[in-house]
Structure 1
Amino acid sequence: MRTLREAISQVSAPGEVFETRERAGVREFLHAPESLRDIYDGARGEEKTFLVFRDESWSFARVIEEADRFSGALVNELGVTPGDRVALLMRNRPEWVVAFAAVTGLGAVAVALNAWWSSEEVDYALQYSEPRVLVVDEAHAGLGVRLARPRGIAVVVVGEVDESIVDESGASRYRDLLTRRHPAPTGRPRKEDLATMMFTSGTTGRPKGAVSTHGAITQSLMAFSAGLFIEALRQSERDHPPSEETTLILLVPLFHVTGCIPVMLSSFTWHFTLVITTSWDPEEALRLIARHRVTHVVGVPTQTYDLIHSPSFEVADLSSVARLGGGGAPTPAALVERVETRLEHGRPNLGYGLTETNAYGPQNYGDDYVARPSSTGQTPTIVMDVEIRRRSGAPCATGEVGEIWVNGPTLFSAYWRHEEATREALVDGWFRTGDLGYLDDEGFLYVVDRTKDMIIRAGENVYSAEVEAVLEAHPRVARAVVVGVSDDRLGQRVVAVIVARRGENVSAQDLEEFARQHLASYQVPSEIVITKDPLPMTSTGKVRKDVVRRRYF
């Protein structure tokens, strides 16, 4: 089997589709599309099925035709011009994809609002991003109208909604706008033009809007695509090349960078079929995977856990699945082993990407992942360099924990209207991720914690992710969350919240004894709370540790 570096050299060689070049200290793809408009144009007239939603099938041609009409309406009826912001507040559905293509295709900025936010959070995001138009679905129509009208934001409602909401507010119906058949704008975005505003997860406070250019996003799409070719060159006997056409299933929200870029936009780029789900139901997901012969299952680790522990898992037809995994949060090592052993053909995979990298980063897959389940993949990648640095900015030694810095063409441009936060995060072309990790002697990256999640107990650094991994290795534990709380004597003390596996009971004493077998004494939680309540989560599968701390301690 080729090494990663050998495969990268072959895929990125001169004359190849994924040929790379060095420019201004950044390694980038030479043949990346100029803008997302080029990707949309490549799907124009394609009758192959693009989106599967409930009992509907949408071809690429239909999506492009509706996007053309909607972009024409945005310009001619609602006054949208290139550079304006248009906010999308919808759950997963085909019209989200259409609206995104319409907005970014005409050169405006798609502001992806979290459809699970409270009214207060949506209100903040509208005040913060100042969109010219807000596009909402039926579930958010009343809220959208109530919050947008005082700010002079035009509202477009998708789907069936109470007539009074539209008539009394002056909102536009999406379908009515399409029937007027305005011509699509002829102007084309440039690679340096802003395309998206994606919000950070906000596990510790108000989310920030990370804005990215067309060029950064198309570079990210090229990087994900190159990864598939690199993996194909490195397959072992255990790998199962899909015998069906590549089909993805959307298990995460489109307003999240993973759902938008590596899942939806990659499908748009390569004309893959995408099966859309609106809410998380592992039983329904298994049925859809079997029915539509899904080859790539991308989600968060919690979803992987739910799938393989579903009562239907043993009888479900998953023979089409070639890859199962995703990103968004660390994956317990035990879960990697379960995927490898329980799937007949599929292999586990993990991606380390962030909103600020347009979801791209090191990838771990197959044999490498099984051999190093705690790693997020080998570095450098085809277009991303990774360094571990101390607080001073000096490089760390091999195996030394420090902050993860990344450099590459997929990075975001700025945090919208957060100049100080942008200066702190982007330093001389490098992005400070805020994650703590280390590199081994082969360049494999290990993420051990968030900088803000590290606990300092009596001068000793405690990495919450390390303690969580130990606790989750207990056979009766489904999920562990470790946080630090203030202590007059120690500065901070280590505490944990535990969710037991379904049908299992576990005591705090049992877990403390188990932890002492695997951890230093200062790492063992001084207080362990067992709960049956669902943990507070972000829409991207990350635990809200600030809420955990307030709720339990």
Structure 2
Amino acid sequence: MPAVSFLSASANIARHLPLMATRQPDHPAIKVPRGRTGDGRIDYLALSFRELDTEVDAWVARLQGHGVQTGDRVLVMVRQGLPLIAAAFALFKLGAVPVIIDPGMGRKNFLACVTRSRPRVLLGIPLAQLLSHVFRAAFKSVEIRVWVSGSPTARAGRGAQNSKLKFEMVSSRAADLAAVLFTSGSTGEPKGVCYEHGMFDAQVRLVRDTYGIQPGEVDLPMLPIFALFNPALGMTTIVPEIDPARPATVDPAKIVQAIQQEGVTNSFGSPTLWRKISRHCREKNEPLPTLRRVLMAGAPVPPALFADLQVLLPNGTAHSPYGATEALPLATISGPEVVGAGQGSDSLGTSAATAAGAGTCVGRPVAEIQIRIIPITDGPIVSLTDTRVLPPGEIGEIIASGPVVTQTYDQLPAATTLAKIQTPNNQSQTNGKTAGTPDSFAVSAPAGAAWHRLGDLGYLDTAGRLWFCGRKAERVLTADGPLYTEQVEPIFGAHPDVARVALIGAGHDRRRPAIVVEPRSRDVIATPSLRRKLVRELRALGAPHPHTDRIRLAYLHPHLPVDVRHNAKIHRLTLARWAVDQQGYEMDKREVPVSALKR
């Protein structure tokens, strides 16, 4: 094939890599750990941007040799590292569609997602190929199998690597399907989110501009899929020594060594991972001076973690971007905004309000994003004219519109109808404005774009900041009114002996509010006197606040169930089912154990 020529009209996300290979050809693009040197340093396989671009062409040759074509759906089941990044960019370059499903969602959900997405190609390690034969029904659409080594340093193949050919990149429109990325399904069934090339472009632009990322920076992404942005951002990717299937087992010493050895300037990870890293750094008295920014997402970030990171990042700042698989980033907040810094009305930060039950502030909308709050509705909303905007301070559903907001779910028209509010081309773009509502709070969006209903509840304050109150599916509808997880859990989570806490609806009707507590020490669960003491102290924490004073039932759990992807999202609906057959503790002066079934 002739050498590639770049057309400015093409929105193909793959175009960024050869551009970076031209601008900074010898700069490291990716480093993959492969052991230790004699002096204990991490030994990396390193590829420059030019070498990574050549490796992508080698993958194109290999994929084409197996018959992969433009438009093919390709289920990607490879290890994080070189094969994930190089093969993904090769698929984009070919115009094929990577399908990314988190195997941590459980076998039943995973196989259902494979069946629904109907991949023609399986690009996978030997274990994935074996599974495709064991569960033939789910993989029946697969016609082509491309085997990939389980090594994170696996290359496309010697023959392809020695090829001098450059492959023509498919010219894609902004609206062309680029990938299908599945949600984790933490509060419902996992769904395939249809990403267009233009949406990936917008994500790169907004992430770069919001956080001031510059080409030449060094990133350590602790969620593999975020590494795919780095070639477009011109950042070096340091592949972390972490098992994506079990992120909570990470050795923080290895992460800290990589940050210090490679001069990492940027890192993304869940609050759970950064809590482990922060604890390690504090115990060892090891600050992280090279880091300019730490991004944390996947669950609300505790103010105490922000405070710890402010000390550990003498030359950097911790941030928490807000969004979802369907739309990211939407808003952002920094550590100083949470814990307080500087002068003026925001000098005390938002943490005090969070501790008092106001919810978690997730910051202000990023550029090009509009966020509105509408009344809580469980059914579909067909048009913007069918809803209205709530005034500042009133809790409702969070909806968002902008260039990173996806438009459809894959093969799930009913789910798309439920999650999207359409804005027809011929519809007025300021519908839903309530009398007296300022223009900045009017419901508006580009003609034809959809507003996404995030399934989250919250409110906007008078300063335009978004406050997250919890998932809509996890609110507890009591006889005295609704309770929201993020307005309850921080109050009880302030107890020093509590590792995690979850608000649930107890009983068969799920209408009695209760908390499920994971103590830091297993001794609390094993010792009756310690159990009663903890319950008594939790009652004292909840009593001063009217909404938590209503909670008089507590359960103790050795380890709250959480998602695999971030190891941070609590499965509260699972806990509610668990509690039906468990014994709880009445949070009164007697602390007498009671059965939730009898309440």
Common fold: TM-score over 0.5: yes
Counterpart amino acid of residue 372 in structure 1: T
| Farther off after superposition, 426-435 or 210-219 | 426-435
Taking the aligned partners of 1:114 and 1:366, their CA distance within structure 2 comes to 30
Distance 2:578 2:52 in 1: 45
One-letter code aligned to 1:388: I
Give distance in 2, aligned partners of 1:157 and 1:177: 16
**CA–CA distance in structure 2, aligned partners of residues 335 and 515 of structure 1:** 21
**Matched residue, 2:446:** none
2-side partners of 1:107 and 1:465: how far apart? 42
Residues matched between the structures, number: 488
| Offset, 1:150 | 4.4
- Counterpart residue number, 1:218: 201
For the residue of structure 2 that corresponds to 1:535, the secondary structure is: coil
Q: Name the counterpart of 1:273.
A: 236
Matched to 1:291, the amino acid is Q
- Equivalent residue for 1:550? 577
Matches within 5 A, 1:361-380: 361-370=330-339, 371-373=349-351, 374-379=360-365
Aligned to 1:43: 20
Code of the aligned partner of 1:405: I
> What runs of 5+ residues in structure 2 fail to find an aligned partner?
1-7, 34-43, 340-348, 352-359, 377-385, 424-449, 525-529, 581-599
Distance 1:342 1:311 in 2: 7
Counterpart of 1:492?
511
TM-aligned CA distance change 1:372 to 1:544, over 3 Å: same
Aligned to 1:61: 50
Instruction: Give the alignment partner of residue 272 of structure 2, picking from 277, 292, 302.
Output: 302
- The answer to whether 1:446 aligns with 2:467 is yes
Partners of 1:213 and 1:398 lie apart in 2 by 33
* C-alpha deviation, 1:158, in angstroms: 1.6
SS at match of 2:554: strand
Structure 1 window deviating more from structure 2 (388-397 vs 126-135): it is 388-397
Q: Which residue of 2 aligns with 1:252?
A: 223
Conserved in 1, the CA contact under 8 Å of 2:287 and 2:314? no
Distance in 2 (CA, whole Å) between partners of 1:80 and 1:205 is: 33
Residue 82 and residue 369 in structure 1: after superposition, are their counterparts in 2 closer, same or farther (change >3 A)?
Answer: farther
Displacement of 1:110 after TM fit?
1.0
| Residue 79 (1) aligns with residue 67 (2) | yes
**In the aligned structure 1, how far is the partner of 2:101 from the partner of 2:371?**
30
Distance 1:186 1:337 in 2: 46
Aligned match of 1:7: none
The answer for the alignment partner of 2:369 in structure 1 is: 384
Worse overlay, 433-442 or 458-467: 458-467
Q: Against the structure 1 CA distance between its residues 102 and 49, is the aligned structure 2 distance closer, same or farther, given a 3 Å change threshold?
A: same
Moved over 4 A (4+): 179-183, 502-506, 521-524
Partner of 1:4: none
SS at match of 1:547: helix
Deviations 1:154-186 (Å, cap 9, x if unpaired)?
A: 22222169xxxxxxxxxxx95378469586344
Aligned to 1:19: none
Pick closer, same or farther for the CA change 1:522–1:226 going to 2, 3 Å: closer
Which residue, 120, 133, 144 being the options, matches 1:154? Answer: 144
Q: 310-319 vs 131-140, which deviates more?
A: 310-319
From 425, 446, 464, give the equivalent of 2:419: 425
Residues in 2 aligned to 1:527 and 1:48: alpha-carbon distance in whole angstroms: 58
Cα distance, 1:56–1:307 mapped onto 2, change above 3 Å:
same
Residues 29 and 48 of structure 2 are in contact (CA less than 8 Å); yes or no, is this contact kept in structure 1? yes
Q: Please name the residue that 1:34 is paired with.
A: 11
Confirm or deny: 8 A CA contact 1:327 1:351 kept in the other structure: yes
Amino acid at match of 2:222: L
Query: What letter corresponds to residue 501 of structure 1 in structure 2?
Result: R
User: 1:532 is matched with which residue?
Assistant: 558
SS at structure 1 position matched to 2:314? coil
Distance 1:190 1:313, change over 3 A: farther
**Aligned residues of 2:29 and 2:49 also touching (Cα < 8 A):** yes
- In structure 2, do the counterparts of structure 1 residues 521 and 226 end up closer, same or farther at CA, with 3 Å as the change threshold? closer
Contact kept, 8 Å, 2:281 with 2:312, in 1: the verdict is no
The question of 1:410 aligning with 2:404 is answered: yes
Report percent identity of matched pairs: 23
- Return the alpha-carbon distance in structure 2 between the equivalents of residues 91 and 534 of structure 1: 28
Cα pair distance change 1:119/1:58, threshold 3 Å = farther
Counterpart of 2:186 in structure 1: which amino acid? T
Task: Kindly state the Cα deviation for residue 545 of structure 1 after the two structures are TM-superposed.
Answer: 2.5
> 3-state SS of the aligned residue for 1:406?
strand
Match of 1:293 in 2: 263
Q: How does 1:173-212 map to 2 (within 5 A)?
A: 175=157, 178=160, 181=163, 184-212=167-195
Deviation at 1:365, TM superposition (A): 1.8
Provide the secondary structure at the position in 2 that maps to 1:382. Answer: coil
Instruction: Provide the secondary structure at the position in 1 that maps to 2:564.
Output: coil
The reply to whether residue 394 of structure 1 matches residue 388 of structure 2 is yes
State the distance in 1 between where 2:537 and 2:190 align.
34
Specify the alignment match of 2:342 in structure 1: none
Q: Give the Å deviation of 1:529.
A: 2.6
Deviation at 1:314, TM superposition (A): 3.4
TM-score by length of 1: 0.81
Residue identity opposite 2:512 in structure 1? R
Of residues 517, 520, 545, the one that matches 1:501 is 520
Shift in CA distance, 523/198, structure 1 to aligned 2, threshold 3 Å = farther
Q: What do the CA deviations read for 1:385-407 (whole angstroms, capped 9, x no partner)?
A: 11111136211111110111111
- Shift of the 147–503 alpha-carbon distance from structure 1 to 2, 3 Å rule, reads closer
Name the structure 2 match of 1:474.
495
Alpha-carbon distance, 1:98 to partner: 0.8
Give a deviation string over 1:519-547, Cα, whole Å, max 9, x none.
32666544323333363323133222233
| TM-score when normalising by structure 2 | 0.75
Unaligned ranges ≥5, structure 1: 1-30, 162-172, 233-241
SS at match of 2:263: coil
Instruction: State whether residues 76 and 98 of structure 2, in contact with CA within 8 Å, keep that contact through their aligned partners in structure 1.
Output: yes
Q: 1:186 to 1:456 in 2, by over 3 A?
A: closer
Root-mean-square deviation over aligned CA pairs: 2.9
AA matched with 1:249: L
CA positional deviation for 1:216: 1.1
C-alpha distance after superposition, 1:333-389 (max 9, x if no partner): 2222222244433322110021111x211111243333234311113x310011111
Give the C-alpha shift of residue 549 in structure 1: 2.8
Partners of 1:80 and 1:201 lie apart in 2 by 28
Conserved 8 A contact 1:32-1:219: no
Note closer, same or farther for the CA distance 1:349–1:503 as it changes in structure 2 (3 Å cut): farther
User: What does 1:336-375 correspond to in 2, within 5 Å?
Assistant: 336-357=306-327, 359-370=328-339, 371-373=349-351, 374-375=360-361
Distance 1:485 1:71, change over 3 A: farther
Cα distance, 1:443–1:312 mapped onto 2, change above 3 Å:
closer
Give the number of the structure whose alpha-carbon radius of gyration is greater. 2
Between 1:318-327 and 1:513-522, the stretch displaced more is 513-522
After superposition, what is the alpha-carbon deviation per residue over 1:188-225, rounded to whole angstroms, capped at 9, x for unaligned?
22211100111112013320000010001101111111
CA distance in 2, matches of 1:496, 1:292: 43
Q: For 2:399 and 2:26, how far apart are their aligned partners in 1?
A: 43
